[in-house]
């Protein structure tokens, strides 16, 4: 799992983000939300670690966000039979979409609610 977390964090936070495969595995709505929130949490946690003022407006995500990321990634991998490269591609695609659309402020409120509901 540490390898997955490190690889995904590096992939998500890379600028510019790598191009994604043309046809990623189709996720259901719940799985996509888990992946999207994991990507958002990784982006915010990375920015918080680097002192970004905008990211610091959110609750600290260094621990809870990373744990959510790991658990959500493992769950989606289990449910879809994705391998590490497959989940990395899904996470990167979501991070790229959030970045390209400037959606982080819109994505974070429901993701923070999901984090609270997770009990982490």
The span from the CA of 82 to the CA of 58, in Å, is 30
Q: Is 21 within a domain? A: no
The span from the CA of 108 to the CA of 120, in Å, is 16
Q: Is 28 within a domain? A: no
CA 77 to chain centroid, in Å, comes to 14
Q: Name the pLDDT band for 120 (thresholds 50, 70, 90).
A: confident
Q: For the segment 3-56, what is each residue's pLDDT rounded down to a tens digit?
A: 544 444 544 444 344 444 445 578 899 999 999 999 999 999 999 999 999 999
Residues 95 and 17 sit within 8 Å (Cβ to Cβ): yes
What separation, in Å, do the N-terminal and C-terminal C-alpha atoms of the chain show?
17
pLDDT score of 65 = 92
pLDDT score of 81 = 83
| Structure-block tokens of residue 104 | 């982080």
pLDDT score of 44 = 96
Q: What is the count of structural domains for the chain?
A: 1
Q: Is 114 within a domain? A: yes
Q: Is 20 within a domain? A: no
Q: Which domain holds residue 60?
A: 2-13+34-118
Q: Name the residue with higher pLDDT: 8 or 95.
A: 95
Q: Is 26 within a domain? A: no
Q: Is 100 within a domain? A: yes
């Amino acid at each position: 799992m540490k390898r997955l977390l490190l690889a995904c964090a590096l992939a998500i936070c890379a600028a510019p983000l790598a191009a994604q495969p043309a046809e990623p595995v189709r996720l259901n709505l719940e799985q996509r939300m888990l992946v999207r929130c994991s990507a958002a949490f990784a982006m915010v946690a990375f920015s918080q670690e680097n002192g970004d003022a905008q990211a610091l407006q959110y609750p600290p995500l260094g621990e809870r966000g990373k744990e959510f990321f790991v658990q959500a990634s493992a769950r989606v991998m289990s449910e879809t039979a994705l391998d590490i490269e497959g989940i990395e591609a899904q996470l990167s695609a979501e991070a790229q979409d959030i970045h390209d659309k400037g959606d982080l402020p819109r994505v974070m409120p429901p993701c923070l609610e999901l984090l609270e509901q997770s009990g982490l």
